[in-house]
């Protein structure tokens, strides 16, 4: 078992500026794609699916790198993922209006 100073030293080594710049660049690229999609004339369901996937990707990058979840212990990660799944399930149960775009379309 490593001592606390050794663990802290290893933790400090794993945080490099280059890594954060790459993550920042990916976030900037994803945002650029989102803005570009807003000006394209895509079917609503396709556009929303792409935007939702990009949002999940961006949220994962932010959580894992900028909020340092990547460096947390496994039980903490599992607790966060379980909370996320429960939150999404509750949103689908208590806010069914989120699915109305599938039936009504956009701009009606």
pLDDT means per 10 residues, the chain with 108 residues, are 51 71 93 92 86 89 78 79 85 74 64
- Do residues 65 and 96 both lie within one domain? no
Residues 6+ apart with CB under 8 A from 77: 69
Evaluate whether residue 8 is within a structural domain: no
Evaluate whether residue 40 is within a structural domain: yes
Give the separation between CA 35 and CA 55, rounded to whole angstroms: 12
- Do residues 62 and 87 both lie within one domain? no
Enter the pTM of the model: 0.60
Evaluate whether residue 10 is within a structural domain: no
Task: State the total domains in the chain.
Answer: 2
| Structural domain containing residue 89 | 72-108
Per-residue pLDDT at 59? 87
Per-residue pLDDT at 74? 78
- Do residues 100 and 85 both lie within one domain? yes
Evaluate whether residue 11 is within a structural domain: no
């Amino acid at each position: 078992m490593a001592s606390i100073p050794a663990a802290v030293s290893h933790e400090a080594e794993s945080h490099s500026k280059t890594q954060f710049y790459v993550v920042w660049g990916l976030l900037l690229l994803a945002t650029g794609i989102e803005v570009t999609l807003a000006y394209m004339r895509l079917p609503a369901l396709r556009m929303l699916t792409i935007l939702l996937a990009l949002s999940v990707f961006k949220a994962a990058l932010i959580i894992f790198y900028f909020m340092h979840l990547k460096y947390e212990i496994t039980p903490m990660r599992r607790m966060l993922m379980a909370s996320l799944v429960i939150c999404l399930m509750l949103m689908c149960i208590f806010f069914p209006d989120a699915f109305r775009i599938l039936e009504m379309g956009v701009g009606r």
